[in-house]
Amino acid sequence: MPKASIIITTHNRPHLLSRAINSARASGTDIEVVVVDDASSDETAKICQSVLGIAYVRVERNQGVAGARNIGLVASRGEYISFLDDDDVRLAGSLDQQIAVLEKDSQAALIYGQAVPEDPSGEQHEPYPSDCLQGDIFWELLTQNFIPCGSAVFRRGCLSRVGLLDDGIPGIDDWDLWLRIAEIYPIIAIETPVMIWRQSNPTSGQRSSPTVDLIALSRKWFREHWLKLPRLANAPRHKQREAWRRFSNNISEHLVWEAFGALGKAELRHAGKSALTALRLHPTGVLGVLRRWTSASTLGTLLASAFSRDDLANAKAHFKRIRSSRTGR
């Protein structure tokens, strides 16, 4: 039986798949690579069948990423599990490194590391997250998902308590699973890059591309499901309100940033959708964002990023500092 399983789900992207498979193999010494072909209609099946040493599973009806990952979980055998998107890359030796740390703490169920964002041009940026929270991270994780999916490694045994991924919430299925794990178990983090994370944009076709829709979905799911998680449902009312306030402020800031970034690239439709969604979901949160952004330094950073691609990275770093000072993280 392999020590760990890396589950790669893929759909109609054969030109990227080989790189992901090779990186998964190089990430550890006793690894099973499970490739779930989610009803691809191109040469994906032929490519996978020609690759020796992988467990290949094909489904004939498209399941979506979460459904395909669940199929991979059932087909896999490893004690430790990690997911990898077909366009991402695991760094050599990273899985062995994470498992070695996780094995030293029998109480922890999941370990995550940093991801190196890579934009469509191939340019790489500072590792994310810059600060890796660990221990009891449940309340912070309710505010935002700071665990890059491909960087997480978790014990198979914890699934008997928390269940599988929910295939009805594509795009936030991993966040939902991390929350259910973090509600019960301590989480470990290493501030070391373990993967290269290809960034999406509104037209890239990745599951995380429709950012505005995902934010609306996460808000709906928070109110209808996360508020019913036992740890949150049994918390004092003031703590429930604080969790909702921090979550709402975070999505407001994200949507306003989306709107401004889209304006800078003349993507007027995306900018309008982001702004209208922010106003519809949390109008008071938008006012709070605007108050925080009206300092001279912030306005200068925003204006510079609108005209210079180089200054866009400075703008992102600036807003990370604003968020850190606001959340106390």
- The tens digit of pLDDT for each residue in 161-196 reads 999 999 999 999 999 999 999 999 999 999 999 999
Average pLDDT over residues 238-255: 88
More confident residue, 268 or 85: 85
pTM for the whole structure: 0.85
Rounded Cα distance between 149 and 52, Å, is 26
Q: What is the pLDDT of residue 285?
A: 58
* pLDDT tens-digit map of 105-141: 999 999 999 999 998 888 899 999 999 999 999 999 9
Taking 70 as the threshold, does the pLDDT of residue 295 lie above it? no
- Cβ atoms of 198 and 118 within 8 Å: the answer is yes
More confident residue, 253 or 318: 253
Residues of the chain with CATH 3.90.550.10: 4-198
Q: How confident is the model at residue 269 (pLDDT cuts 50, 70, 90)?
A: confident
**C-alpha distance from residue 153 to each of 70, 106, 184, 229 (Å):** 15, 14, 16, 23
What CATH superfamily is the domain 4-198? Spore Coat Polysaccharide Biosynthesis Protein SpsA; Chain A (3.90.550.10)
Average pLDDT over residues 95-106: 98
Taking 90 as the threshold, does the pLDDT of residue 268 lie above it? no
Listed range (69-73, 129-133, 265-269) with the worst mean pLDDT: 265-269
Rounded Cα distance between 180 and 138, Å, is 9
Taking 80 as the threshold, does the pLDDT of residue 96 lie above it? yes
Q: What is the pLDDT of residue 211?
A: 78
Q: How confident is the model at residue 300 (pLDDT cuts 50, 70, 90)?
A: low
Q: What is the pLDDT of residue 298?
A: 52
In which element (H, E) is residue 301 found? helix 296-307
- Single out the residue of 317, 3, 23, 15 nearest to residue 194, CA to CA: 23
Average pLDDT over residues 295-322: 49
DSSP 32-69: EEEEEEES--STHHHHHHHSTT-EEEEESS--HHHHHH
Q: How confident is the model at residue 329 (pLDDT cuts 50, 70, 90)?
A: very low
- Single out the residue of 150, 31, 44, 40 nearest to residue 87, CA to CA: 150
More confident residue, 140 or 201: 140
